Structure formats: structure tokens, C-alpha cells
Amino acid sequence: MNRRAWGKEGEDRAVGFLLRKGYRILERNFRFERGEIDIVAEDGGTLVFVEVKARRSKSFGEAEDAVSVHKRKQLRRIAEGYLFKNNIDGRACRFDVIGVQYVGKETQIRHLVDAF
């Protein structure tokens, strides 16, 4: 599998994980300007912007550690674009990160709720 296919597979697994936890998926791969949020979901009354990081090895650390300060700023800006585009005001929002780690034939999923 190429890098893009691994990323799509990781996002698909993250969506399944969130659905099993009772989240409602509103949108995938929301694009605004030059950025993208992987998953927009609802958890109860909270709007959740989810960044998914998938890794095939731990050579560079845990998958979720790849969400840098720069990426966090970018995700906040994209989330503001989502709120503006959808005319959403005064709603509780948060950012979650899901790390998908492929270890041999096993897949590990870690979910950081309200990650930043």
C-alpha cells in the first residue's frame, strides 16, 4: 500500500472506532483554503474535529505525536472555516486526535479526547 492508501485505511478505522463509541460522523475530509480536517463528528452535543494519524512503525514515535504546534494552528483555522461555512455559532467544540498504529498484522487505536 502507498502512503495515501495507508492514510485512508487509518481514517476508515478511526471512523469505525468513533461510530462504535456512539459518535455521529458529519463529514470526512473537510477542506478549507489549503488545509483539511479528517473527520467532523458529534459527540452528544459537542462538535468534534478529529485529526487522524496513521503509522506503520514507531520509529518516529507514536502516531498522535505527529500533530505539531503548526498543525494545531492550522486545524483551528480550518475548524473556524467549518463553523463559518455552516453558520454555527455558540456551540461547544473540541479537537480530538486518533492515532492508528499498525504493528505487524495488529492495529492499535489510541483516542485522545480534547487533545488540544
Per-10-residue mean pLDDT, the chain, length 116:
78 97 98 95 97 78 77 96 96 96 87 94
**Could you give all domains of the chain from N- to C-terminal order, each with its CATH number?**
3-112 (3.40.1350.10)
CA distance 50 to 30: 11
Q: Which amino acid is at 28?
A: R
> Rounded to two decimals, what is the model's pTM?
0.90
Which residue is listed with cell 475530509?
Answer: 29
Tell me the torsion sign for CA atoms 79, 45, 20, 25: negative
Phi-psi region of 90 (alpha: psi -120 to 50; beta: other; left: phi over 0): left
CA distance 105 to 90: 43
